[in-house]
Structure 1
C-alpha cells in the first residue's frame, strides 16, 4: 500500500491513499461507526476478516457513540482496517466538536486519515467533503472521454442541484452506459 499526495487533473490536491488489491481476498466497505465499539466488534466478528481481507471505513469513526477513543484504537492497530477522514473526524480536528477522551495522539491519527482511498476499479470518498475536485473532476473527464464506455456510481447522498447528478445525466445523454444507485434504508416497526 502506498500513501501519497496526488492531484486529479491539475486543480485540487488532496491527501489520497491508493491500495493494491491483487493480494486481497475480500474487501468490505463500512460506514458510520460513530464511536460504537460494541457494534464495530460485532460487525468485525461477523465478517471474520482473514489475513488477506480488508475493511475500508468511509469515515465517521468518532462522535455520537460512547467509545470514540476505543474505536480509533481498534481501527489504527489493525493493518486490515483503514479509513478515510469523515466530517466528524474533520470537526474534531478543526475544534468544531469536542471529544474530551481524545488526546493529541488521537488527533494526529485523525489528521493522517486520507480524504480518499482508491484501488484500480473503485474507491471511497466521504460524502461530506466537496466533490468538486475529486468525484466531479473524474466524472467530467470521463463524460468527455470518447474511450469511456460506462460509468457506474453508488451514491449515498448529494446536495440538491448536485453537479455529480448533472454529470451522470450528461453521460447518459452522450450514450455512455450509466448506472447509479442510492442505497435504500428501511425499518420495520412493531405495531
Structure 2
C-alpha cells in the first residue's frame, strides 16, 4: 500500500474551494445516489485535510479560525451524508438541485471569486473598518448570484447559496450589526479598489486571513 502524500500548506486554497464546489476546478454537484456516494466521500476527505492543515501549518488565531471552518463543515457533511439513502431530506434536496447547480456553477463561481479578491484587499484597511467591509462584501455574493438569469433554477440556486454562505457566516453575522442589506451603512463606505485579481482565490482563506489580522 502506497504511503499517503504529505499535505502542503498551500493546498488549503484548493481544499476550501472544493468545499464551496462552484469555485472548485474539478467538483460538480451530485444528481443521483451513486454520485452522492462519491460526493460524500470527497467531503469527508476534505474535512480531514482541512483539520490536518490547520494543525500543521498555522498557529494561534489563524489555526483557530481554520479549525472552526473545518468543524462547521464537518457538521454540514454529517447532516447531508448520514443515512443519505434513508429519507435524508438534505440529500434529496441536493440531488433535486444538482442539475440546475451544475448548469450555473461557473457563473456562481465568478461571484465568489470576485468577492474573494475584494476581501483580500480589506487587510490594508484600518482595524475599525475591516469587519464593516467584510460584512458588506460578503453580502455582495448573494446579490451577485441573484442577478444571474437562472430561469426555472432560482429556487435551487437559493438552496445552494443559503448553505454555502453558512461556511463563513457563523463567525461573520454576529459581528455585522447595521452593516447589512437592510441599511445604507455599506453604501457610505469608500469603494474598495482591487489592485490585482488572483485567479482561483479562496473566499474562506481570505476571510480567515483577514479576521486573523484584526487586533
TM-score (norm 1): 0.26
Higher strand share: 1
TM-score (norm 2): 0.24
Q: Quick one: higher RCO (CA 8 Å, sep 6+), 1 or 2?
A: 2
